[in-house]
Structures are given as structure tokens and as C-alpha cells.
């Protein structure tokens, strides 16, 4: 009597086919490198064997090392490349030195404190820039002059910078002096530097004080005063006089 018995059969598949497209091809050999091993079919066994021979420099079976590549590269490059690099290096080094030596000097800068008589805020600074200077708010290594205008003694920061760095002062509060210097094309200092004036802020910040002055000015003869920018000195002076009169009148009556 015959009896059919099903027994499991272990089938080893090629790892390369599985990794490439998931196909199942029976493996015929095993490739082992160190602790790793791969089951390969005959096709991949030949491919990986050739790859290892090329990587290790070992000739395949039936092949011999060809001597031609050794002799050809040695004779041709020797004469030409030796003479050419030396002039190129010499020519590249010289321009680098000249470029460093010809770096432009920093532009001299000027500070302006206060209002310049006869000029508005922007025009005075444009006149200084036309003479080749930069206008800065705080002194630095390039600052060579402090231009002192009306109310400039209230800018304690710029006066302190000028005193600490020994920057000369040009007092232009006298009408026409700044204009004459601009026409002559030369700004020169040498005037005494005043002490910073103590200003009573009445408990208000500069922004709040400017808002109050602008509102008062529009109602008292300056309807077209810009809503932004610096408040002109004549407007500030008129505001201060208008608010000092009641106090002075009370003191005189007393």
C-alpha cells in the first residue's frame, strides 16, 4: 500500500534577486566576508566575483596583467606640467599684495549737535555730506569734528563723546559761519567745547514733550508743522517763552 507523505523542503534563495526586485531565484553558492554572508545564484556569484577581483586588483581566471598602462602615463606628463606652474604662482601672488595695499581709507565722519542757523535738519547734513564727510549720531574712530549749533549744549551725549575722544568743536551758532565754511569747502574746529546744559523735562519724555509742542504750535501760528521729524528750534523756543510768561508774571507780582 502506498502512502503519500508531505515533507517540508528548505529552499535557499538568492539575496541579490530579493534585494533588487523581490524575485525568488534559488541560490547555488554562499559568499562570506568576515562576519557577513550572502546566498547568491550563479549569475550574481560571477558578477560579485568579478567586482571583488577588480576592487582588489587581482586578475580573473585566464587573464594576465597588461604592462601597457604602466609605460604610457609615465613618459608623457613629465616635460609639460613642470615648466608651466611656476609663472602662474608668481603672477597670482603679486596682485594679492597690491590689492591689500590699495584698500580705501575709511570716510571721515562729523557729529552735528543742535540746529544750524539758516539751515533745516536735512539741508545741513546734506551740505556736510557734499564735502565728503559722513554724519554720525555717536562718535567713533572716523569722527574728526563736532559741529555745535543752537541748542547743541543740550546734547550731553555728543558733548561727552567729543570731550572723551578729544574731537575738535566748530561753533556755528553765529549766523553765516557754517555757510562760509561750506562755500570754502573746509570744516575746521578749535572752538571751546561748552558744558552740557541741564534741561528740566517736567517729568515728560522727549516723545511726549514733542507731541505737546506740536499740538500747541498748530494752534499758535504753525498749522503746517509736520507730524514727524525734529521740531524746529524756533518753535520750541516760542513754546518755552509762552509757558514761562505766566510764571514770570506771578513772580513779579509777588
Q: Has residue 27 been placed in a domain? A: yes
Asked if residue 38 lies in contact with residue 30, where contact means CB atoms within 8 angstroms, the answer is yes
Give DSSP secondary structure letters for 43-61: HHHHHHHHHHHHHHTPPPT
Co-location of 210 and 148 in the same domain: no
The contacts of residue 39 (CB under 8 Å, 6+ apart) are: 12, 13, 14, 15, 27, 29, 30
Q: Cell digits for 204? A: 515728560
Q: Has residue 212 been placed in a domain? A: yes
Q: Has residue 119 been placed in a domain? A: yes
pLDDT of residue 48: 80
pLDDT of residue 3: 67
Q: Has residue 169 been placed in a domain? A: yes
Average confidence (pLDDT) per 10 residues, the chain, 254 residues: 66 80 81 80 81 66 50 50 49 52 79 92 93 92 93 88 94 93 91 81 67 88 83 88 61 40
Place of cell 567586482: 51
Co-location of 157 and 116 in the same domain: yes
Q: What is the pLDDT of residues 14-26, one digit of tens each?
A: 888 787 787 888 8
Q: How far apart are CA 31 and CA 46, in angstroms?
A: 11
Q: What is the pLDDT of residues 74-90, one digit of tens each?
A: 445 555 555 555 444 44
Q: Has residue 190 been placed in a domain? A: no
CB atoms within 10 A of CB 191: 16
Co-location of 129 and 177 in the same domain: yes
Q: Has residue 136 been placed in a domain? A: yes
- Looking up residue 135, the CATH number of its domain turns out to be 3.40.50.10190
pLDDT of residue 29: 82
The residue among 149, 184, 219 that closes a domain is 184
Residue 96 per-residue DSSP state: H
Compute the Cα dihedral for 162, 167, 168, 173 and give only its sign: negative
Is pTM beyond 0.75? Reply is no
- Cα–Cα distances (Å) from 240 to 18, 30, 205, 249, in that order, read 93, 102, 16, 14
Q: Has residue 159 been placed in a domain? A: yes
pLDDT of residue 193: 93
CB atoms within 10 A of CB 114: 20
Co-location of 180 and 235 in the same domain: no
Helix axes 121-130, 177-184, angle to 10 degrees: 30
Q: Indicate the number of domains in the chain.
A: 3
pLDDT of residue 131: 92
pLDDT of residue 70: 46
pLDDT of residue 223: 83
Co-location of 170 and 216 in the same domain: no
Q: Has residue 240 been placed in a domain? A: yes
pLDDT of residue 51: 76
Co-location of 122 and 167 in the same domain: yes
Co-location of 173 and 118 in the same domain: yes
Domain that holds residue 168: 109-184
Co-location of 179 and 210 in the same domain: no
Amino acid at each position: 500500500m502506498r502512502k503519500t507523505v508531505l515533507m517540508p523542503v528548505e529552499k535557499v534563495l538568492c539575496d541579490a534577486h530579493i534585494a533588487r526586485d523581490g524575485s525568488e531565484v534559488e541560490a547555488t553558492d554562499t559568499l562570506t566576508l568576515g562576519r557577513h554572508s550572502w546566498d547568491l545564484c550563479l549569475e550574481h556569484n560571477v558578477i560579485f566575483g568579478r567586482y571583488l577581483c577588480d576592487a582588489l586588483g587581482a586578475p580573473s581566471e585566464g587573464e594576465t596583467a597588461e604592462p601597457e598602462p604602466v609605460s604610457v602615463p609615465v613618459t608623457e606628463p613629465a616635460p609639460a606640467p613642470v615648466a608651466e606652474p611656476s609663472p602662474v604662482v608668481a603672477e597670482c601672488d603679486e596682485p594679492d599684495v597690491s590689492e591689500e595695499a590699495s584698500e580705501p581709507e575709511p570716510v571721515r565722519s562729523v557729529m552735528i549737535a543742535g540746529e544750524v542757523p539758516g539751515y533745516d535738519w536735512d539741508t545741513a547734513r546734506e551740505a556736510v555730506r557734499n564735502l565728503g564727510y559722513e554724519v554720525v549720531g555717536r562718535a567713533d574712530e572716523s569722527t574728526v569734528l563736532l559741529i555745535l549749533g543752537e541748542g547743541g549744549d543740550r546734547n550731553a551725549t555728543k558733548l561727552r563723546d567729543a570731550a572723551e575722544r578729544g574731537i575738535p568743536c566748530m561753533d556755528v551758532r553765529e549766523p553765516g559761519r557754517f555757510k562760509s565754511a561750506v562755500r570754502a569747502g573746509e570744516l575746521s574746529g578749535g572752538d571751546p567745547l561748552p558744558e552740557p546744559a541741564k534741561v528740566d523735562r517736567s517729568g515728560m519724555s522727549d516723545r511726549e514733550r514733542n507731541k505737546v509742542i506740536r499740538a500747541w504750535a498748530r494752534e499758535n501760528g504753525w498749522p503746517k508743522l509736520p507730524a514727524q521729524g525734529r521740531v524746529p528750534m524756533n518753535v520750541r523756543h516760542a513754546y518755552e517763552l509762552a509757558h514761562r510768561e505766566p510764571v514770570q508774571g506771578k513772580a513779579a507780582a509777588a
